[in-house]
Amino acid sequence: MSKVVKFGGSSLADAKQFEKVANIIRSDKDRAFVVVSAPGKRFKEDTKVTDMLYGCYESAAKGEDFSKVFEKIEERYRDIISALGLGVSLEKEFERIRQAFIGRAGRDYAASRGEYLNAIIFADYIGYDFIDASDVIFFREDGVLDSEKTQEVLSKELKKHKNAVIPGFYGSMPNDTVRTFSRGGSDITGSIVARAANAEIYENWTDVSGFLMADPRVVESPRPIEVITYHELRELSYMGATVLHEDAIFPVRLAGIPINIRNTNRPEDCGTMIVASVDPNKDNALDAVITGIAGKKGFSVITLEKDMMNQELGFGRRLLEVLEKNNISFEHLPSGIDTMSVVLNTSDIAGNEKHLQDQICRAVDPDSISFEDGLALIAVVGRNMRRAKGTAARVFDAVSNAGVNIRMIDQGSSEINIIIGVSEHDFETAMRAIYKEFIS
């Protein structure tokens, strides 16, 4: 059985990284299908090629001269080709893309060229076939992945190749234009390819030795997680642990294929295994109550008060209907007897607060209503929380003892997560306090 391997932007940022990646692939002949991202950052202040492409296309779409930025993009690829001494030339491709920019081929098309070009180079370097994602990954008219068609065409195509390199991040629309997934979407492509190849494993190679218990930019040297379930991972990645795209688990989960997060710069580390479930009798993480912590800023909360709210039939429905009509989805809905709060993404309501407030007042006639922004949410996630008594109390104590006021609490009904809301200023302090409480 084959393995599908996906390498992220930092793993393929320059020629030196290309060499590391090739060594990893060659060290295991089962690593048959390779999904690549566009070249990422080579150093901290560097710019990802994808961001350069977005910027460049923006200029092109405004009719401005975009040649300077475009040349910089070309240079990133030329540097890799010449440092590796490859025979492949991208000059014709560059010209075609430049013309397409002038012809306003679209933002998604522009962004997708980062992985497209990188895959051509990498296929040449490693000596594998190149398969264009446009020919094998399909979106429906509404922009959602057409998983059936993709599975059918892609699995058939893969059977024709012993080895192949496939660009991540994009596919094609029914009218043949290019569409991308959201940012970080090469992880999804890797998962789709793993399912179509019926792979034994989907290895996702990045720049950290697996999924860490907390964001390394907030908590210093957090511990790696050895084993995590799809469910736990989804909770964490949705809440900002961006090491793997939050939608990347779906295709492999359908097929029961485990994901292994690995570090391109430390291939000897075993990384994190993401699995469907863990047998409690064999769960060597049983002592660890929590699996990980993640959080995000940028939330707002609308709080409504009304006497006897609990007896008013349809209060919640009417409130949510207002949101639905405004095309706003909500994150959490903590409620009491006479109060109800809705937590939303601030960016979804920005500029529209007054209008929304009027509509809500008309729909449910509250005694009071308030809007507050600057909320950060933190999710404490763990499959073993169900079993361990007092986990919530430990979270609250740790946060309060750090001098942070908890503005909202929500325990997921699956009992694998506790979510707290704190002021954005307290976000880092709260994250570190929770980490320290459970891991010392």
Q: Which of 106, 168, 184, 271 binds Mg ion (CB under 5 A)?
A: 184
* 100 closest CA partner among 14, 191, 178, 197: 178
| Placement of tokens 């006639």 in the chain | 365
Residue 39 near Mg ion by CB under 5 A: no
Q: How far is the CB of 236 from ligand ASP (least distance, A)?
A: 18
> Closer to ligand ASP at the Cβ: 189 or 417?
189
Residues 48-77 touching ligand ASP, rule: CB under 6 A, are 48, 50
Residues 25-54 touching ligand ADP, rule: CB under 6 A, are 37, 40
> Closer to ligand ADP at the Cβ: 117 or 241?
241
> Closer to ligand ASP at the Cβ: 7 or 128?
7
Q: How far is the CB of 409 from ligand ASP (least distance, A)?
A: 33
Residue nearest to Mg ion (CB): 184
Residue 210 near Mg ion by CB under 5 A: no
> Closer to ligand ADP at the Cβ: 58 or 207?
207
Per-residue H/E/C for the chain: CCEEEEECCHHHCCHHHHHHHHHHHHCCCCEEEEEECCCCCCCCCCCCHHHHHHHHHHHHHCCCCCHHHHHHHHHHHHHHHHHHCCCCCCHHHHHHHHHHHHCCCCHHHHHHHHHHHHHHHHHHHHCCEECCHHHCCEECCCCCECHHHHHHHHHHHHHCCCCEEEECCEEECCCCCEEECCCCCHHHHHHHHHHHCCCCEEEEEECCCCCECCCCCCCCCCCECCEEEHHHHHHHHHCCCCCCCCCCHHHHHHHCCCEEEEECCCCCCCCEEEECCCCCCCCCCCCCCCCEEEEEEEEEEEEEECCCHHHCCCHHHHHHHHHHHCCCCEEECCECCCEEEEEEEHHHHCCCHHHHHHHHHHHHCCCEEEEEEEEEEEEEECCCCCCCCCHHHHHHHHHHHCCCCEEEEEECCCCCEEEEEEEHHHHHHHHHHHHHHHCC
> Closer to ligand ASP at the Cβ: 109 or 427?
109
Per-residue x/- mask for ligand ASP, residues 186 to 215, rule CB under 6 A? xx----------------------------
The count of chain residues that interact with ligand ADP, using the rule CB under 6 A, is 19
Residue 211 near ligand ADP by CB under 6 A: yes
Residues 2-41 touching ligand ASP, rule: CB under 6 A, are 8-9, 37-38
Residue 185 contact, options ligand ASP, ligand ADP, Mg ion, none, Cβ 5-8 Å cut-off depending on partner type: ligand ASP
Q: Which of 106, 167, 168, 251 binds ligand ASP (CB under 6 A)?
A: 168
Q: Which of 62, 68, 160, 217 binds ligand ADP (CB under 6 A)?
A: 217
Residue 211 contact, options ligand ADP, ligand ASP, Mg ion, none, Cβ 5-8 Å cut-off depending on partner type: ligand ADP
Residue nearest to ligand ASP (CB): 186
Residue nearest to ligand ADP (CB): 8
Residues 6+ apart with CB under 8 A from 432: 218, 219, 402
Q: How far is the CB of 286 from Mg ion (least distance, A)?
A: 30
Residue 262 contact, options Mg ion, ligand ASP, ligand ADP, none, Cβ 5-8 Å cut-off depending on partner type: none
Q: How far is the CB of 424 from ligand ADP (least distance, A)?
A: 18
- Is the distance from CB of 334 to CB of 406 less than 8 angstroms? no
Q: Which residues bind ligand ADP (CB under 6 A)?
A: 8-11, 37, 40, 184, 206-208, 211-212, 214-217, 241-243
Q: Which residues bind ligand ASP (CB under 6 A)?
A: 8-9, 37-38, 48, 50, 114, 168-169, 183-187
